Amino acid sequence: MKLVLCTLCMLASALSAPSAPEARAHCNLAALTAADRARDQQLIPLLAGALRERKELQDGYAYRFDRGVLKELGEWLDIEAKCCQPLSYALVLEPQPGGALWVHITGHDAKEFIDEEFAPLGKKLAAAGPRR
């Protein structure tokens, strides 16, 4: 009984504990070269123009893009994943032809960070209507 209570206490403590420092969302200072940064600045407006929808997920957001930017999206994710850590990036191309192109960006205790970090992407979407 004591062991069960102790285990429960440890579990509760682990669940309520703040994120471990190494697990918190952060921007890697040295990850990007000048070329990466310049390319990132080129890609953001292009991708923002192709963003069609943003959906809230439990631990992040899903962004739906025009199918035509798949290549640029892959390139951009490669840059972002070097800088914004420790997040998960999932590129989803639904069955073709016609299936949607999604990027899921998620992370433990990082939803607010993801919202802020990728806000430039959703500016046009936000201006077009209520935020999704």
Total residue length of the chain:
132
Contact with another protein (CB under 8 A) among 43, 51, 84, 103:
84
Please pick, from the candidates 9, 10, 12, 28, the single residue that binds another protein as defined by CB under 8 A. 28
Cβ nearer to another protein, comparing 93 with 119 = 119
CB of 21 to another protein, least distance (A): 5
- The secondary structure of 56-77 as a DSSP string is EETTEEEEEE-GGGHHHHHHHH
**Window of 3-11, 13-21, 47-55, 93-101 that interacts with another protein by CB under 8 A:** 13-21
Residue 117 binds another protein, judged by CB under 8 A: yes
Among residues 92, 84, 88, 93, the alpha carbon closest in space to that of 118 is found at 84
Provide the CA 96 distance to its chain's centre, in angstroms: 24
